[in-house]
Each structure stands twice: as C-alpha cells, then as structure tokens.
Structure 1
C-alpha cells in the first residue's frame, strides 16, 4: 500500500488502482465486471467503507462517552457511475438482495421493516440535506459487501457511509471526514436508530494499524497503538439482530434518558433540557466514580413502572411520550434505570482507564474486555445465551479477553489472543461452537476470522476499462 494511504487527510482519500493492496485488486476487478454487465458501462469510481469492531465502550456513545473502536478489513464496496435519468439504480452482487430503482429527489425510507437499500437511501438523504443540492446526478450502483450483516460489525453504517461518500463524490462536493461522520450519524436516525456516532466516526477516521479513541461533543479521534504480540479474533454467533427492526436498542436509549432526567430533577436541575448522561455528568461536575455513587443514592434497583416515572417527573403519560420516549418505545411499561446507569458509568470508566493507562499491556486490556462483557450481559442485558456461551469458549481456548461487540442480542464477540495461540484458538472455537451446528458451520470462514485495524473510507478512481 502506498504511504499515501497512511496520511490522515482532512478529506476522504482518492487512490488509483496502483495504490490499492494486492488483496483488493481481485475484489475490485470483480465488482467492476459486474457493474459493466448490469449497466453496460464501466464505473466512474469505486467507494469503500469499512465495518468496525468496538474494542471497549459498548452502548455509551449515545450517552456522550468515549469509545475505542477500530475499523476492520471487511467492508462495503460500491462501483458507481452517473446517469442523466434522475434515478438511483441499485444492484447487489449477492443474489439474496433484489435490485432497486427510485427517483433521487423523491423517495421514501421504510423505517418499519427496512430492506437493504433503505440504508443506501439514508446516506443519500443526509448528503442532499447537508449540501442543499437542487439537481443531483443520478446514480447507477453495484454493491458488494464482506461485512456479515446483523452481526454487530456495523454493516448498516458502512452501507450508509459508503452511499454518502458516493453521492458526495459523484456531485463533486468537498466535505471533510469529520463532517461526513456527523452527517452519517444523523442519517441513521432516518431509519429509526438513535445511535451516538461511533460507527460513522471510525468508518471515516480510521487509520491502518491503529484503534481510535473517539470522543464526542465535539467529535475528536486519537490514534491508539494496540498491544503487540496479539491478534484480534471475531467470532459470529450467527444470531442476527437488526437494530432498526427491533425496539431493543431504542429501549436502552430511552432508559438512559429517563435515568438522566430523574437524577437531574433530584439534583435540582432543569431535567427537560438534559437528555444524556454525558450532559448530566458535565453539569454536576463529578467524577465517574462519584456518578456511580449518585446512582446508588437516587435510583432504586427494581424496575420503574411508567406511571412512577411520570409521577417523579410530574408529567402525564402523553407528556412523557413526547418529552422522553421514541416512536417504537411508547408501549414500554417498565424501565430498568439503575442497571442501565451502572453499566454506562462503569463502562465509561473502563474506557477512561485506557486513556491514561498502558494499553500496550495485553493483560490489562484483556481483563477490561471480560469485565465489559459481564456488565453488558448482566446490567445492560444486551447479550444472549449464544454470546455468553461463545465468550466462555473463547476464554477457555486461550483468549486473554473476550466480550460481545456491537449492539448485542446476537452478533459477534471480539477476543484478544496471543499470536502464538491463534491457530489453536481458531481450531478450538470452530470445534466447540461452529461444528456442533451444521448451519453455523456452513459459513464458518466468514464468521470466524482474525482481523487487524484497517484504514477508513476512501475512493478509487482510474481507467476501469483497462483494469
């Protein structure tokens, strides 16, 4: 890879085919060929956006706390050419996804039961609203993905980011990586996912060989060197959870908001103006340890009934729905505010311990991963029996740290494994988890793999007719 790839430029990088890695060449050649077959012309450019794995800091970005993700080598790649029809035409190299066509100016995003192309439309809508483009060019797009879907590796965010990058470049817009990350975070709100921006930040800001410590409000990303002598192993439970198609994710967002507002009111603050733990934390001026003490002081451990929350905040059911809940959480009647608060503040503390500690010490990072999984499983209840089982298998196979990663309720684990044990680790996890179920074994190579920190989203321009 050219040294040009390592530059942390303000705008997404644009490379030639001579500058991409040998492993990417065959992939790019295949998608170029598929694009020519489908549309009768070669692409004008390729856009690439990586998936990501969060090393530590789960379900705290939307509360305003820092996280430690890295981009993975698995990605979404799009071959793109422009058209004068005013349409978006989408095709996917996987036959499981049907073709789709719509107007580029007049389309609807289905947030109730989203299909794959709705995530593309989210990215398009974000750029259109940001740029105020009155006459965007039409797009013919071929999509190819190697990020396992609904696995907690951010396949949906990679799709959104890649779509936004494609529309930006096709219309010759100049938008910084920071701006793109912020735009794409808001894009996913169109489909009903109230995330906090981690996925989009690492997608655009990642640097090959490094994790990123991502801070929010304002968005900042700092390179973090990871322990040497270890590899990261991703293992997919093969249990799929689509954030946009279920209420699990947004219920947790709402529980954090309600806990924030109840604590704010108890502390004499204007609770209606405070919507996240991060905002509350800043106003109170306390340490994370002190915030954990506040949780013990104010919140009771058993679940809160909706009626009780209304009484504490002094609002009607309808007012609470408007002030604090989201569309797919209006019917929720119980909220576990104590447990969710304990997870967020303790998980934020785990991230902070790495900011000032020695992250190059593998055992320290490993212990933090195990602690993070226990908190996510017990306090945040975003695990499942398959995730818990897989973490235990990984522990016994030699991982010095392992935990669920991504939204949870299925998806993947991330494990940190001594490099010398990588082969035996993979063999044992394959034997104990994948070989016991023929369906899991079918795609084991796509669901159990070693990965290293990859680079962020970029573009490829060249004479594809000669490729």
Structure 2
C-alpha cells in the first residue's frame, strides 16, 4: 500500500520482502553492521520504437521492465558514501560525498562511477541550507548489462533518488527525470532523456509516448494480444567506452546546422534536428525532402563542414564536437538525419495505430514499423551488429516484427509476438539462435515482458 499518493512525487510503499530483497538485506547488514532504513527500486526499460531520436528532440515509445536496480540504503557517518554490491565481481567503493571525481578511463566507467553521476546531479541542485550527509548503499541489479535495456541509466537514477531521500529533499518525478537525463554526461555520454523519463514516469500496464522540451508523456495502451519478447544478442557494448554513440549525436547536430545555414537560419541557435524543424515550421515529410535535397550521401570531411558553416575546424570542434569525437575526420550527415526524421514519423504512426487498435491489422502495422526501424538503424544509422541482424532475420516467420532496442552495436532485440505464439517463438530462438552459439541454458537471455511501473521508494 502506498504511504504517499502518486501526486507527482515518487511513490513510497511499505516493504514486503522477497527472496531477492532478503539477499540484499543480508548483504547490507554483513557489510555495514546495521539494517537499511529504506529501499529504492528503479526499472530498466525496453524502447519499442523511436531509436536514437530522443537526443534529437523527438518522441519515443518505451515501457518499463520487471528487471530493475534495487538499493538498500541507510544514513552513514559524516559525509562518507559507501557502496557494496550483491554481485562480488563488483568491488566495494567509498568516498567523501563532498569531494569526489568522476573519471572515465580508456576501458569505460566502473560501476560505482554511474552511481556517482546520480549523486552529483542531485547534490548540484540541493539547497545550500540542507546539510550533506553520507550514506551506505547495497546494490542488487538484475537488468542485463550493456544490453540496451538501460541498466546504467537505472543505476544513475536510483542513485539520485536515494540521495534525495537521504536528504529529505522533495523533488518531483519530472524534475528527477530531467536532472538524471544530464547526469551521464559527467562520464561523457551525450544521451537524451528517454531512459530517465520512463524510469520515473512509467505506469504499470502501459507503454509511454514520451515527448521532450518540455518533458511530458502519454499512456499508450497496446493492442490486445500484443506481447513483446526481448532476446539478448550475446554481444555487448558499453556506449561510454567508445566514440560510436557520441559520433551519432554530433553527426545529427552538424546535419541540423548545415541545413539551417542553407535555409538562412542562424545555425548557432540550432542544437538538434527538432530545433531545426521548429525554426522552419514545417512537417517531417518536408524535413525528409530537405535532407534529400541539401545533404549529399558521401561522408563530409571536417574541413568541408567548417567551410559550409563559414567557421574554422577549431571552432567546429569547440562548438559541435565532444572530447571523444574531435579525432573523427568524416561524418555521414545525410544518412543520420534521414534516419531521425523517418524514425520520428514511425513513432507517430505507432502511436496513432495504438490509439486505433480496434482497427483490423493493428498488430501487423506495429510489427511492420518495428521492422522498418531496424532496417534504418542497420543501413542508415549503422548501429546494429551481425548477431542482432541474425536475431531479426530468424524472427520473421515467428513474429510480426523485430528490431534492435537501445543504443545498438550489440545488446538486445525486441520482437512483437501474438500471445498464442510466444512459447513457439522463444523455443525457436533457443534452438536456432542460442544453441547455434553454444548456449544450452538461455534462461534470462530471452523473455516475454509487459509494461511495469516506474521508480518507487520502500520503507521498513
């Protein structure tokens, strides 16, 4: 039962222990010699459609998963933050909460650095009159990592939420979502706000259409008989460990600036492709036509872009690139912008189809949109992987449509399957995909899912 109504703040409920939370409790008491005062749960998410467009300002359609990050928390001594993890492969960590650094080494961030991102983001907005307290945290995570299911963003969000509760700082779900959307930039990831928005704003039983600037969301009721099955490709990529993700972000930014310059708009005011569309006051079909007319398909060199914008390459690096993309010498602007505008249209059609799901063929339409999305991500955005493509290919005869979900370059695919075909589809993947790769036990690698609720605090 909720002790606090869902009035814009994260709900607070009484803790009813499960086997997993009991294991977390044992880990906490063994490490800190005391019991936790509260627990925090933040779910992972699967994005049904709308990939790589949130950071361009366009709407997305995710839903929260049952898989989540669960924290046990108590106030500690002084200003020390102490972290431990149920999984012994993650080493313990502690620091002074008033004095820490977030560093991204060459092999990618450590698990505790994601937690520190959330702590820092919340402390940055904490009123000065509130005294900063340290706290103790034990972490249990069951979201598959580097799978495109938002495990890192869930940990960042859980850290921010626990920091706010430790300090009795009331902050709305929308404010937390916006705050956490910027937190991963402390380790160099230039993402959008989808993961954090669904983490805090998800409703059980509904997917969400999430729109940005300002952040707002609408419930999406999925057609009867629609089941989404998630399958791990057995390949992983930490998007903070490479320049691939940020390269796509800056390619979209530069594409927007080049089109703006050609259309007589002050390109210094344009940061996203949505900014560009708003400035031009035209529809998505017109934006697609402008990409085809203005941006050539061959890659642009850094010098060519600087010439087009009438700036130096040094200014280009300063204003449009990120620290880990300054070394890149060529950019595919046509392909990236074309994907974004076409994907934004697919999200619109997905939403419209769900609103009219009584119409015959709604499931077929949703599946087709998902398949088109994957092809675009593979061919135009170039963020797929051969094993993801294989998952999508063998899904054709057993699902209505499938696509990669998350950043890509590995991770998971999501398929739309009718309820009567779920078992057949999963069995097919076990035989034709996982066993072919030498995996006899694929439990946890492929599973059906339904929309779950967003973040929650549990008290003892």
TM class, shorter-chain normalised?
over 0.9
Which position in structure 2 is the counterpart of 1:21?
A: none
Q: How does 1:320-339 map to 2 (within 5 A)?
A: 320-339=316-335
Could you say which structure has the higher helix fraction?
1
- Post-superposition shift, 1:387? 0.5
Match of 2:380 in 1: 379
Q: Which residue of 2 aligns with 1:72?
A: 65
Output the aligned Cα RMSD: 1.4
User: What is the aligned partner in structure 2 of residue 221 from structure 1?
Assistant: 217
In structure 1, the residue matched to 2:281 is 285
Q: Is the 8 A contact 1:6 1:208 kept in 2?
A: no
> 1:97 — aligned with what?
90
- Structure 1 gaps of 5+ residues are 19-23, 463-467
Partner secondary structure for residue 65 of structure 1: coil
Give the equivalent residue in structure 2 for 1:42: 35
Q: How does 1:200-219 map to 2 (within 5 A)?
A: 200-219=196-215
The 2-side partners of 1:211 and 1:159 are apart by 21
Which of these residues, 146, 151, 166, is aligned with residue 150 of structure 1?
146
Distance 1:132 1:8 in 2: 24
- Aligned counterparts, 1:353-364, within 5 A: 353-358=349-354, 360=357, 361-364=362-365
Equivalent position of 2:446 in the other structure: 448
Question: How far, CA to CA, are the matches of 2:5 and 2:337 in structure 1?
Answer: 39
The alignment's TM-score, normalised by the length of structure 2, stands at 0.96
Rounded Cα–Cα distance in structure 1 between residues aligned with 2:408 and 2:379: 12
* 8 Å contact kept, 1:47–1:457: yes
Q: Deviations over 1:398-441 (max 9, x none)?
A: 11010000000000000111111111111110111111223x44
Count residues in correspondence: 452
2:45 paired residue number: 52
**Quick one: structure 1 residues 223 and 48, their matched pair in 2 at CA, closer, same or farther if it must change by over 3 Å?**
same
8 Å CA contact 2:336–2:380 kept in 1: the answer is: yes
- State the distance in 1 between where 2:139 and 2:223 align: 34
Match of 1:351 in 2: 347
1:50-74, Cα deviation, whole Å (9 max, x unpaired)? 0000000000000000000000000
> How far, CA to CA, are the matches of 1:17 and 1:167 in structure 2?
19
Structure 1 position 88, deviation (Å): 0.9
CA contact (8 A) 2:4 2:13 kept: no
- Residue 7 of structure 1 deviates from its aligned partner by 6.6
> Please, what TM-score do these two structures have when normalized by structure 1?
0.95
Match of 1:465 in 2: none
> 4+ residue stretches of structure 1 with deviation over 4 A?
4-8
Q: Per the alignment, do residues 227 and 8 of structure 1 end up closer, same or farther by CA in structure 2, a change over 3 Å counting?
A: farther
- In 2: Cα distance, 1:232 partner to 1:211 partner: 11
Change (3 A) 1:392 1:7: farther
Question: 8 Å contact 1:17–1:25 — kept in the other structure?
Answer: no
Deviation track 1:136-163 (CA, whole Å, cap 9, x = no partner) reads 2111110000000100000000000000
**Which runs of structure 2 are paired with 1:296-445 in the superposition (5 Å)?**
296-358=292-354, 360=357, 361-396=362-397, 398-438=398-438, 440-441=439-440, 444-445=442-443
* Residue number in structure 2 paired with 1:188: 184
